[in-house]
Structure 1
Amino acid sequence: MTPPRFPGGTSVSDLRVYDSQAPDGLHGGSPHLHTASSEAYIVLGGAGEVHTLTPEGAAADPLAPGDVLWFSPGTVHRLVNGGGLRIAVVMQNAGLPEAGDAVFTFPREVLADPEAYARAAHLPADAPEDVRAEQARARRDLAVRGYAQLVGAVRARGPAALHEFHRRAAAIVRPRVARWREIWREGVAEEAELTRRQLDALAGGDPGIMERAAVVRTEPHPGPRRFGMCGRLRTRRPTAP
């Protein structure tokens, strides 16, 4: 029997936020946004902040153990590590972030050139870990420089500057959308349809999927943590029954 998906067609991962110093003196991750998915943070340990940029302007929210915070697509965000910051990240639309749902805040000239953007964003999976770590830092630093440009533009021109960035982000991900539709149909849409069928069954007095009740346990994917946008990620997989 195929194990049930994580609730709501979402995904969860364990994030240890980068603690290296960026060009602006802060320690933490890469500023970016998600084009189709909301994201939630459940703070597990340490301290820090999440810096965000929306049409209302720039903001900084403190993060401490027990805090829960989430934001919608289009919110530019950046994690700042104040010491040992560790977060459980819950992502909407499992599969889409892994398929390129996020866009970095690279400088304007990089965003305007699809090939330059792809080169700057890419981390070769087969490279030695120290090489990928250095490339992840270079990617983060480039995104921080572009973020400073973007924050300055929003302060000077208001929401119109952020709207321009949103349009550039949409242009970058547009070639991937056909594949994203397939991932969404096979995941989130199927989960919603499963609930619809279950409500119909219950309305008729039928237990429906309750008769296939199951418990799912997971184990960490083997190997070192992945280099994510904001830190080192540990994802998990269902254990064999």
Structure 2
Amino acid sequence: MTIPFPGATSVSILDVYSWEAPDGLPGGSPHLHTACTEGYVVVGGRGRVQTLDASGFRETPLHERSVVWFGPGVIHRLINDEDLRIVVVMQNNGLPEAGDAVLTFTAEVVGDNDRYAEWAKLTPGDEETSARQRQSRAVAGFTELRAQLDAEGPAALQRFYDAAARIVGPKVPRWRQAWRDGPMRAATATGEQLDALERGLADHLAAGRVNAQEPAPRFGMCGRLSTYSFALGS
């Protein structure tokens, strides 16, 4: 029997891109998550994460053993100053993989769902070239958003949030099933286990098993990923 990963989360190992963006800073493609909290556990190197939220622009240093996390709506851009490697923890296993992230392309692109989808995808067989292009385009939009946030305050972000909601809206019915099969099921199972233990019953303990996986590499938004496929339950 396959045991779900703890808390219906998912983890991956991220080696942040060292490619320079048009502004000269090496790193990933800025984006936000629409339904998931993300956490970083830095295991090597050093860098920064630049963020935009309703409170403004912020830059948080990253070094070995740093732990940083942020909720949906925080636009984040990883900067790789030296060999930055992170264990990424994502809430709601299944939703990030189903596309809850929205890249910070410029306003005219995020306002057009078809054009956004074309810019966001990676070209099979030429992933690195298209990932580099995606980074450049997302950084351009991030720079635009940062200037608008400085000038207008949170209203500038709200326009982007509204566009992001329109982009992901058609995917939500699939997300609901992933949420039911993963986080909701995990929380319900914990409640059932607590009920059983309170009655002095321990049958669920006999179902414990060990699970192990090897990583699968792929190009991500922020860097080269070592990914794992986590069961939602069985």
The alignment's TM-score, normalised by the length of structure 1, stands at 0.93
RMSD: 1.0
- Asked if 1:104 is matched to 2:96, the reply is no
State the one-letter code of the partner of 2:199: G
Give CA-to-partner distance per residue, 1:160-197, whole Å, 9 cap, x none: 11111111111110000000001110111111111111
Give CA-to-partner distance per residue, 1:11-48, whole Å, 9 cap, x none: 00000000000011100000000000000000010010
State the one-letter code of the partner of 1:152: A
Partner of 1:40: 39
Partner of 1:147: 142
- Asked if 1:162 is matched to 2:154, the reply is no
CA distance in structure 1 between the partners assigned to 2:215 and 2:118 by the alignment? 29
CA distance in structure 2 between the partners assigned to 1:18 and 1:141 by the alignment? 12
Partner of 2:87: 88
Listed as ranges, the matches of 1:125-144 within 5 Å are: 127-128=124-125, 131-144=126-139
Secondary structure at the counterpart of residue 194 of structure 2? helix
Identity of aligned residues (%): 51
CA distance in structure 2 between the partners assigned to 1:57 and 1:208 by the alignment? 51
Give CA-to-partner distance per residue, 1:42-101, whole Å, 9 cap, x none: 001001000001100000000000000000000000000001000000000011111010
Structure 2 stretches lacking a partner, 5+ long: none
Query: How many equivalent pairs are there?
Result: 230
For the 8 Å contact 2:48–2:78, the answer to whether it is kept is: yes
For the 8 Å contact 1:219–1:237, the answer to whether it is kept is: no
For the 8 Å contact 2:30–2:76, the answer to whether it is kept is: yes
**Equivalent in 205, 226, 234 of residue 218 of structure 2:** 226
Partner of 1:198: 193
Q: Provide runs of 4+ in structure 1 moved above 4 Å.
A: none
- Asked if 1:52 is matched to 2:51, the reply is yes
For the 8 Å contact 2:3–2:208, the answer to whether it is kept is: no
For the 8 Å contact 1:39–1:89, the answer to whether it is kept is: yes
CA distance in structure 2 between the partners assigned to 1:80 and 1:23 by the alignment? 13
CA distance in structure 2 between the partners assigned to 1:50 and 1:194 by the alignment? 35
Larger relative contact order, structure 1 or 2 (CA cutoff 8 Å, min sep 6): 2
The alignment's TM-score, normalised by the length of structure 2, stands at 0.96
CA distance in structure 1 between the partners assigned to 2:111 and 2:34 by the alignment? 17
- Asked if 1:175 is matched to 2:170, the reply is yes
Please report how far the alpha carbon of residue 219 of structure 1 lies from its aligned counterpart in structure 2 after TM superposition: 1.5
CA distance in structure 1 between the partners assigned to 2:203 and 2:72 by the alignment? 34
